[in-house]
Amino acid sequence: MKNFVFTCLAVCALSGQVIAQELTPISLRAPRTSGGTTILEAFLHRQSTRVYTPEMLSEQELSDLLWAANGINRPESQKRTAPSALNYQDVDIYVCLEKGAYRYDAIGNCLNPIVAEDLRPLVANGQDFVTSAPVVLVLTSDLSKMRGGDTESNRLIGAMDAGIVSENISIACAGLGLATVPRATMDKETLAQKLKLKSTQILLLNHPVGHK
Ligand SMILES: Cc1cc2nc3c(=O)[nH]c(=O)nc-3n(C[C@H](O)[C@H](O)[C@H](O)COP(=O)(O)O)c2cc1C
């Protein structure tokens, strides 16, 4: 009997742990389409910042930032705030939080869970300040969305498309009073596995984001 009770308690504890480790999708707020500084003030304040307070972004800030980065701004055509070559829409944004990593779904305006693990140290890859950012955005390009697939010129196009999303992030942060830095450094091999990337998705840039 004692053994039975112990086994039951162990199973409960274990299943509780499993549940705690599970991530659920996060619905984002409707993005604001006004607010922040003027566009010229945002350019005035754009800079790389590598020190952040531990304060999490508010739900509204995260939603506004992702929408500005690469959200849908013309629902009728599902086109984005960032242009992409031939409208390939090849860039995906992964959102790394302490509790786990998610993929931004621009159409659903939500974050879909990928893994319940803090991947920020893999993004940091030696630059420890990255792990102090409450949000780390990772940009990939999916070459399978391009005519011709994995070619040198499509890799270049992917890098350009991700660069434009990156600049949207930098300007949005400047305009919203947030701090960020564009980075190419990251442990790409391990991140590709942990983020469950397709073989056609290439890791290009990342952005730690926090408050100043
Ligand atoms: C493509 C690219 C890759 C970068 N990679 C890193 C990086 O890995 N780590 C880092 O600390 N900064 C990185 N930076 C930020 C630059 O160091 C920074 O933009 C530059 O020093 C100019 O400073 P500013 O952004 O404040 O004007 C990168 C910038 C770009 C555009």
Ligand 1: which residue has its CA nearest to atom 10? 183
Give domain status of residue 16, yes or no. Answer: no
Give domain status of residue 132, yes or no. Answer: yes
Give domain status of residue 18, yes or no. Answer: no
Q: What is the pTM of this model?
A: 0.92
Ligand 1: which residue has its CA nearest to atom 23? 48
Give domain status of residue 9, yes or no. Answer: no
- Residue 185: CB within 6 Å of ligand 1? yes
Give domain status of residue 52, yes or no. Answer: yes
Give domain status of residue 197, yes or no. Answer: yes
Range of the domain at 195: 24-211
CATH of the domain at 196: 3.40.109.10
Question: Please, what sign has the CA dihedral across residues 16, 27, 168, 160?
Answer: positive
Give domain status of residue 8, yes or no. Answer: no
Give domain status of residue 5, yes or no. Answer: no
Task: Report pLDDT digits (tens) over 17-61.
Answer: 444 469 999 999 999 999 999 999 999 999 999 999 999 999 999
- Residue 184: CB within 6 Å of ligand 1? yes
Answer yes or no: are the C-beta atoms of 134 and 52 closer than 8 Å.
yes
- 122 CB-contact burial (10 Å; exposed 0-12 / middle 13-18 / buried 19+): buried
Task: Report pLDDT digits (tens) over 153-189.
Answer: 999 999 999 999 999 999 999 999 999 999 999 999 9
- Domains in the chain, number: 1
